[in-house]
Amino acid sequence: MRVMQNAFRTIALVGKYQSQGIAEPLAAIAAFLKDGGYNVLIERDTAENIGLAAHATASIDELGAGADLAVVVGGDGTMLSVARLVAPHGVPLVGVNQGRLGFMTDIALKDTQKALKAILEGEYDAEERNILQGTVTRQGQVLLDTLALNDVVVSRGAIGGMIELTVSIDDKFVYNQRADGLIIATPTGSTAYALSANGPILHPNLPAIVLVPVAPHALSNRPIVLSDDCEVKMTLTRGRDAGAHFDGQAHFSLIDRDRITVRRSQHRIRLLHPRGYDYFRMLREKLHWSALPPAH
């Protein structure tokens, strides 16, 4: 997708300020953007913790409302956190990888300025990713309502055994699930926790979600791929110390009879990649599909 040069005027900058060595690259990106004539808004906690308070700062909510583009420096966890919070504002995201895998933060730190220059001039590939809306209801009262870009997970606690869930899809009973947990993942999240639980990789353009049981009691229980128009309801029938987790960042302790409802959100995430972005090349690199065996 090609857009008009300088379509982005106010750039938000967010970093995983706890990461060692991140202060210098964040400062360099801020200076690069400032020298290019862009308005720079740095997330307040990021600025205060790494000494960038000389720049204009704002909370995440304020960034979402005031920025034309958000540049996220860190790993996928940082991207998930920012994406969940700015999704209602429709702010596109660019990810700079300072973490390990970086499925969504796909720009290498050493290539940041070159890649940003091209993107800011309209040279980029854009894609939109669906996200999930998850609610926890107890006795008819909604106790939590939040977003998840990767997944919603209902799982056993540290001191509990298997949990039991009654699962329905579009109000049609599917099964009583006995397992360590159940993952409801987007295509984005299919390469996260769901993949480690033997779930399938879903291409991000697929209008789908996947249900992946974690260590199910019945070995015939397998992942199920659904249309993302479906609404999934899970009722906890037994589960000591069970919890619901949204992108591994929002957590809620459950008691028996709590209901967790998951559906596609009305919001979407827009990711901007350097021109020529190739999803399958990214998978090969991140999952080491083309790596040679170690020498003996």
- Pick left, alpha or beta for residue 248 (phi over 0 → left; psi -120 to 50 → alpha; otherwise beta): left
DSSP 223-240: -EEEETT--EEEEEEE-T
Q: How far apart are CA 133 and CA 149, in angstroms?
A: 9
At a CB cut-off of 8 Å and minimum separation 6, what does 292 contact?
Answer: none
Active-site residue among 45, 76, 125, 241?
76
Chain-centroid distance of CA 281 in Å reads 20
Which tokens is 258 given?
């709590």
At a CB cut-off of 8 Å and minimum separation 6, what does 10 contact?
Answer: 38, 39, 40, 41, 66, 67, 68, 69
Which tokens is 116 given?
């940003």
Confirm whether 111 is a catalytic residue. no
Whole-angstrom CA distances from 269 to 69, 87, 217 are: 12, 6, 35
Q: At what angle do helices 23-35 and 112-120 cross, to 10 degrees?
A: 30
Measured at the CA of 67, the angle between CA 62 and CA 70, to 5 degrees, comes to 105
Enumerate the active-site residues: 76
